[in-house]
Chains A and B, each alone.
Chain A
């Protein structure tokens, strides 16, 4: 009898980790095998399988075409725990505070040209809607996750989105102080709802949010929509900003891309984990093929409105596609 089965012997770690035969990491102790609603596939909750939420979990999580026999085996490649997330992001936020402070002191916003301000109010500050929608989508990944190790990554991603929603709100307010009549803080909803430049992303994001199958939601959100948005909004608008003397925007979008890169790393790890299971590759490829054209259309509509950036759309599309290719998926 192994020690683990001998109840008279003390344990060195939780029994579910004892088979590792080594001291588990803090990450493993606090993050693994925390969900039990997957244990009976026909009955996620004690309430009847016919109540709407039970049906929802059965249909959209348990019966998703994306399968894995052991979701709990997934590991965040960076093994982030709550404690280390805050340490990391407190440092990142201190850096952003510094950027904002420095640029405020030098009255950076005052020096922005009238034409660039028009670009910002049209293509930058309405970004709070899609950034928040990505937060909502990330929360959906949390709500229906199969495994705690996946769920935690999605939680950090949702928090990251809230981070940038608030920083964008901050910038909106700050710009409105320097330029009270430029429309900052008052015209964003109309731009998001009606400006042709945004309609591609709006369609993509609204449809992503209602892609309720967990697997499809993950693909549409993390492999398609978020990378497309980040490429267009952060990288291409960021490049245009540098060309128009908006150094602050460039530095802020660099900081935001650090979070996006983390999202891509765990997304890649999850894809690597999933494609080992026969059948998943085709399912994933199918979704990518279904969603990628919408994303390309969104990038084109948005990037065509960027000033002096003739290559923006093709660069953004290529970058998003190359990343998907690097995952071994149909691009």
Chain B
């Protein structure tokens, strides 16, 4: 007899529920942290994570993965790649690291909650690996940008962003705190593991890996792919939870958790991934539009997965499909206009060739978003750079914390969805963000948007220089400028001359 196969003993290591005697079950598993749906312990013992790994396999495989990932890093310090890298692409990297690195670390605590408070032994063990995985992702995504600090101070945001109150950080934090830091173990497994990691994380990880490969940045693409390879382990935590809830008559509750979190994460990822794909990656390196990517990687696949596990598409599916055509184009315009407030250098990058590409990928782009950029282009051609900086204050959505905006042009759809609650008016970008608020107003009502903070005295005086300091601009690093120093306007200048 040789060593036993994992399958022979694996279930013994998951038979770890017992009936408490010296404390109550409610004390041991408080519903607010554990299971608010009231299923018995035995129902959760049916939890089966399909992808299995032993600790012994884990440390071996992860050691090998790291040995590969970090050997690339050793090459990075000698590489000249970043010295001549495209500025738009560098913006993608800065945005990614600032948004992601410490969020991964926060996820360790979410995994810790599932590991401690789930009544499903299989989830407790798998989430223990999940904590470790998230630690890995944090450490890789701090170590790599650290190498880039000497060339560009904006990479300091990989560590500092989460410690600032930059508006983009507040948006990300509001979403992630909602779906993974303030939910019980079971809801976290639906919102974080299923909606986020199974449904949408491919956007960032697969999408960015192929983008960076196309850019010749194999250091980054290898790292991201290596990170993604860990997801099979902990991203699977949501599926068995949902199945157990459905089996025990809690489908509506599972569906609602999915509907809330999928939208919240979508609003974030469209910015994080959609803008870089369609604007920051140089035209010659783009292999797929964001919309194409969404259809191939998210819509088809996620819809199938939902039906496989017995859930419905979210009720706002049509609004979601519409948002794929609009949200990131709106925010590209907004972020570019407010470029001094961010820690990367967003390129406008809408020269004649880029516009032709956008029109082809998003028919009608010229007649809508194009008009917005026409004004900007005109000002730049006329030498009025100062006119490209807005002097109005945007309306911020009280849910996603992103400026309210929509498709400009003849069919101007921009409107604010409002709600009066306890004598206060709340603004929302879409019916979905408003719906989420209505589900639990007490949860959301007292969070001040960045604009609220200008009026409430938190940012004092509420002047632009003070707002910038409040947001970490000029403190951590300088704020953004056009990534190509407006060189994309040259094509229009030539056209105008002809």
Give residues 102-117 of A contacting B (CB, 8 Å).
Answer: 104
Q: Which residues of A are found within 8 Å of B471, using beta-carbon distances?
A: none
Q: Which residues of B contact A151 (CB under 8 A)?
A: 108-109
Q: A29-B142, A143-B112, A173-B9 are in contact. Are A82 and B18 (CB under 8 A)?
A: no
Is B125 touching A162 in the complex (CB atoms < 8 A)? Answer: yes
Contact B156 A143 (CB under 8 A): no
Q: Is B1 an interface residue (CB 8 A)?
A: yes
B33 at the A interface (CB under 8 A): yes
Answer yes or no: A283 CB below 8 A from chain B CBs: no
8 Å CB contact of A165 from B13, B102, B181: B13
Evaluate contact between A48 and B447: CB separation under 8 angstroms. Answer: yes
A46 and B178 contacting across the interface, CB-CB below 8 Å? yes
Say whether A73 faces chain B, with CB atoms less than 8 Å apart. no
- Contact partners of A162 in chain B: CB under 8 A: 55, 125, 128-129
| CA distance in complex: A73, B21 (Å) | 40
> In the complex, what distance in Å separates the CA atom of A144 from the CA atom of B108?
10
Q: Is A54 among interface residues, defined by CB-CB distance under 8 A?
A: yes
Do B138 and A30 touch (CB < 8 A)? yes
Instruction: Check if A10 sits within 8 Å of B128, measured CB to CB.
Output: no
Report whether A139 and B28 are in contact in the complex, using a CB–CB cutoff of 8 Å.
no
Give B464-481 interface residues, CB cut-off 8 Å to A: 474, 476-478
Q: Are A45 and B3 in contact (CB under 8 A)?
A: no
Q: Is A97's CB under 8 angstroms from B18's CB?
A: no
> Assuming the A-B contacts A12-B150, A46-B178, A46-B447, are A139 and B112 also in contact, with contact meaning beta carbons closer than 8 angstroms in the complex?
yes
A 163-181 to B, binary, CB cutoff 8 A, 1 in contact else 0: 1011111101110010000
State the Cβ distance, B475 to closest chain A Cβ, in Å: 8
Interface with A: B60-68, B197-205, B314-322, B374-382, which one? B60-68
B459 within 8 Å of A by Cβ? no
Contact residues, B35-90 vs A (CB, 8 A): 54-56, 58-60, 62-63, 66, 70
Chain B residues positioned under 8 Å from A193 (CB to CB)? 18-19, 21
What are the residues of chain A within 8 A of B218 when measuring CB–CB?
Answer: none
B420 within 8 A of A: no
Name 9 interchain pairs, CB-CB below 8 A, sorted by A.
A7-B478, A48-B442, A86-B62, A93-B56, A135-B124, A136-B124, A139-B127, A162-B125, A206-B20
A-side interface residues toward B, CB under 8 Å? 7, 9-16, 26, 29-31, 33-37, 39, 44-48, 50-54, 56, 81-83, 85-87, 89-90, 93, 96-97, 100-101, 104, 128-129, 132, 135-137, 139-140, 142-145, 148, 151-152, 155, 158-159, 161-163, 165-170, 172-174, 177, 185, 188-189, 192-193, 202-203, 206-207, 209-210
